[in-house]
Amino acid sequence: MLAAPAAALLVVRLTGLDAGTPLAMPMALFPCSTVLGVLVLGVMITVPALRSRWAVGVVAALVAVHVTLLAPRFLPDSRHVPSQPVELRVATLNTDGGGADPRAVVELVRTERIDVLAVEQMPSRGVDMLDKAGLGALMPYQELHPEYDSSIYSRHPLSHGGTTRIDTAWPQTTAEVAVGGRRVRFVAVHTYYPLGDAQRWTRDMTALASMARRGGPDTVFLGDFNASLDHTPMRRLLAAGLTDTHAELGHGWAPTWPAGHALVPPLIQLDHVLHGPGLVGTSVSEHTVPGTDHRAVVAVLALLPTEGRSVVPDETPPAHVDRVGVRSGDGLPGDPLLVAPADGGRLEGRAALDVESAARHVQVSDGMH
């Protein structure tokens, strides 16, 4: 009976029944059910009264399948990293509605030498607090969308910034960074949560997978996916051409939620750094930030050789985004934010933002703090 949860979750895992259903919630605990299965097997073997050959064989087979499914994420990939590669140090943090300690966030960026930071659940109040704490001095290039959910901060100039037009609960913030003669596209991800609406969450993940298939090799999706590697929608997203940095490096157990609770340790990894085949992860770590129930994820990504692919100049015009979504220094002063359309075609002005009205109330920055 104690092995029943492990057996039930294995059936859900193998059949994909968690996609769009409430079964997505228990599926997040699939690794924990594996541990439970191992413990049950150990007890059955050591206690003579429970040492039924048939029962031991069934539980052993159950554990073996679990381990087979989980093992790859604990085995680092053998991808070659060139010597002295061009690297990007990236991080993601769900601020829990702006509750994350802004000074701790700034200290994390400083000590980890972060190049690009994605923040989720960051309202305008949180943006102001980060600015007062000094984040702008470290990361002067910003694509801020507190009116939706996520924002991107960068040490390097940003271009082609804006929000997505895909079938997600709210737009996802996106921008590009020119480095090493290439443009790396970042998408700050925060999906709906399956407890609230499992079908909405699945549609969010499906839309991200469609976007990933068109994203090219130099793409990074980072943020709070409200999904573990065992969820069917997450596996479909990875199958669209992305690699999870934790699994790539053999860090198979890296829970990021819930954090900051004295009695309950982090049990589930909801926060991820996923990248396209043009990059490779060289390190990844998790960091507790006071004030939020998510741990930050910091990853170092190296650019792989282009092998004949075209490159772009590094001389990207400085771009800075102010808090209401008007950009300067990337085109004409006061250009409206550009939106990455769902079909991957030409970028357009975001109709949802009244740029003219915003411009009357906000002085456009010159690209530096």
pLDDT in tens, 89-116: 999 999 999 999 999 999 999 999 999 9
Tell me 133's DSSP state: H
| Helix axis angle, 124-133 to 102-111, nearest 10° | 60
Sign of torsion over alpha carbons 24, 26, 29, 35: negative
| CA quadruple 230, 153, 181, 308: dihedral, nearest 10 | 20
pLDDT at 1: 63
Tokens 């601020």, residue?
A: 95
In this model, does residue 361 exceed pLDDT 70? no
Alpha carbon distances (Å) from 267 to 253, 258, 261, 270: 9, 7, 11, 10
CA–CA separation, 189 and 308 (whole Å): 30
In this model, does residue 347 exceed pLDDT 60? no
Q: What are phi and psi of 135, to 5 degrees?
A: -65, -35
- Taking residue 48's Cβ as centre, other Cβ atoms within 10 Å add up to 6
Q: Mean pLDDT over residues 232-243, rounded?
A: 98
List, in order, residues 6 or more apart from 119 with CB less than 8 Å away: 92, 93, 94, 95, 105, 126, 130, 150, 151, 153, 188
Sign of torsion over alpha carbons 65, 70, 71, 77: positive
pLDDT at 50: 76
Tokens 């290439």, residue?
A: 182
CA–CA separation, 182 and 278 (whole Å): 10
Question: Is residue 20 within 8 Å of residue 199, measured between CB atoms?
Answer: yes
Q: Which among 313, 361, 301, 253 has a CA at the least distance from the CA of 115?
A: 301
pLDDT, greater one: 309 or 339: 309
Q: Which helix (H) or strand (E) holds 128?
A: helix 124-133
User: What is the rounded average pLDDT for all residues in the chain?
Assistant: 86
In this model, does residue 41 exceed pLDDT 70? yes
pLDDT range class, residue 79, cuts 50, 70, 90: confident
pLDDT, greater one: 307 or 139: 139
pLDDT in tens, 160-206: 999 999 999 999 999 999 999 999 999 999 999 999 999 999 999 99
Tokens coding 290: 């006071």
Q: How far does the chain reach from its first CA to its final CA, in angstroms?
A: 62
pLDDT at 80: 83
pLDDT range class, residue 83, cuts 50, 70, 90: confident
pLDDT at 337: 35
pLDDT range class, residue 318, cuts 50, 70, 90: very low
- Of the listed ranges 154-158, 248-252, 313-317, the one predicted with least confidence: 313-317
pLDDT range class, residue 262, cuts 50, 70, 90: confident
In a 10 Å sphere around its CB, with 0-12 CB exposed, 13-18 middle and 19+ buried, how is residue 70 labelled? middle
- Rounded percentage of the chain residues whose pLDDT exceeds 70: 82
Question: Is residue 208 within 8 Å of residue 242, measured between CB atoms?
Answer: no
pTM confidence score: 0.84
pLDDT range class, residue 138, cuts 50, 70, 90: very high
In this model, does residue 354 exceed pLDDT 90? no
